[in-house]
């Protein structure tokens, strides 16, 4: 077994079926990879639907994980996986035909061998794309596309958890994903993918982008409104603060300095209060409003007992 494809899922059985269907049509031979569905305590018909299709897809397996949390589900998948390479998909994605084959090729042929590989995450809008959803907001809905050139990623370019694959040995070496980060219930925590990638980069591995490792990603209508993006911005700031505390393990002095810096920076700018309280429609102003909510989230993450 060379590749394990892990799909954490929670109450998205309809989209999960489409994701599995796309994997059953891969160019890579079925005996070369396994599909592991990690049911993270779903309350819909996920179990029944998967049991119905299990006999039809020989390389498919189902595991129930009762501990809530995306990273808990990812780590359970890592524990169960038999492949040399571990690929993760969101349950609302659909893979392109050569997706699995290109992942194996990247790990097998690229020199130096990358620790993480991935590719474009292309949006499928389930409703009309809002006029204010400019390029700045694309990361919030896991949209990435760095063009048609294969390359090692540098600088601020990043991969996202909806479509990423790891050298299993490297992922095991860093201890998998940090349990305190990423989605848990209604909390839009994030950063588990970034934290894992950053830890693997510290092992001297690089991150590789291949445009053929491509997936389509359904953007549900519930995300296409101001309220969701404001909530997402708050939790992104919160997650960034948690990640800093988890990875850097700052001293009390360093933590205090950062807390004072953010409080002072927030209070000295009256515009922050304006953007918190006022409704805005212009894309540029809404971007600033989201950034203010992210700063509030960062402050909350700094003082949170979770770490």
Q: Where are the domains of the chain?
A: 3-221, 226-303
Mind listing the pLDDT tens digit for each residue in 215-264?
999 999 999 999 999 999 999 999 999 989 988 889 999 999 999 988 88
Mean pLDDT computed over 19-29: 95
Question: CA-CA distance, 140 to 153, in Å (whole number)?
Answer: 19
Structure-token match 């948690």, residue found: 242
**Is residue 155 left, alpha or beta, with left meaning phi > 0 and alpha meaning psi from -120 to 50?**
left
The answer for residues whose C-beta is within 8 angstroms of residue 168's C-beta and 6 or more apart is 4, 78, 81, 83, 84, 85, 86
For 3-221, CATH number out of 2.60.120.260, 3.90.550.10, 3.40.50.300, 3.30.465.10 equals 3.90.550.10
Q: Supply the pLDDT for residue 305.
A: 67
* pLDDT band, residue 172 (cuts 50/70/90): very high
List alpha helices for the chain, DSSP H: 13-23, 46-53, 70-80, 99-109, 168-173, 192-201, 226-248, 252-267, 271-277, 283-303
Token pair, residue 50, equals 């998967």
pTM comes to 0.91
Q: How far apart are the first and last CA of the chain?
A: 36
Note the residue count of the chain.
307
Q: Supply the pLDDT for residue 283.
A: 87
Instruction: Find residue 39's DSSP bridge partners.
Output: 9, 64
């Amino acid at each position: 077994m060379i590749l394990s494809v892990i799909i954490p899922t929670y109450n998205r059985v309809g989209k999960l079926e489409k994701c599995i269907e796309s994997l059953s049509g891969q160019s890579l031979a079925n005996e070369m990879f396994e599909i592991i569905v990690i049911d993270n305590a779903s309350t819909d018909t996920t179990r029944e639907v998967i049991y119905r299709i299990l006999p039809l897809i020989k390389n498919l397996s189902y595991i129930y994980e009762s501990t809530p949390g995306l990273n808990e589900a990812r780590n359970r998948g890592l524990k169960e996986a038999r492949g040399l390479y571990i690929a993760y998909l969101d349950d609302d994605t659909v893979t392109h035909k050569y997706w699995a084959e290109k992942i194996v090729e990247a790990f097998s042929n690229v020199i130096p061998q990358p620790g993480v590989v991935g590719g474009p995450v292309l949006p499928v809008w389930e409703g009309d794309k809002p006029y204010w959803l400019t390029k700045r907001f694309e990361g919030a809905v896991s949209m990435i596309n760095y063009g048609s050139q294969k390359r090692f990623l540098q600088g601020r370019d990043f991969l996202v958890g909806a479509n990423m694959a790891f050298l299993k040995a490297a992922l095991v070496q860093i201890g998998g994903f940090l349990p305190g980060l990423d989605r848990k219930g209604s909390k839009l925590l994030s950063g588990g993918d970034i934290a894992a990638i950053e830890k693997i980069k510290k092992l001297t591995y690089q991150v590789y982008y291949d445009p053929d490792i491509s997936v389509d990603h359904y953007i549900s209508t519930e995300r296409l409104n101001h309220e969701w993006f404001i909530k997402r911005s708050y939790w992104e700031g919160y997650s960034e603060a948690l990640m800093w505390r988890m990875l850097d393990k700052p001293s009390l002095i360093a933590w205090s300095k950062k807390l004072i810096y953010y409080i002072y920076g927030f209070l000295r700018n009256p515009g922050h209060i304006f953007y918190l309280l006022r409704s805005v429609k212009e894309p540029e102003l809404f971007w600033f409003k989201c950034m203010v909510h992210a700063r509030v989230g960062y402050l909350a993450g700094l003082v949170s007992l979770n770490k």
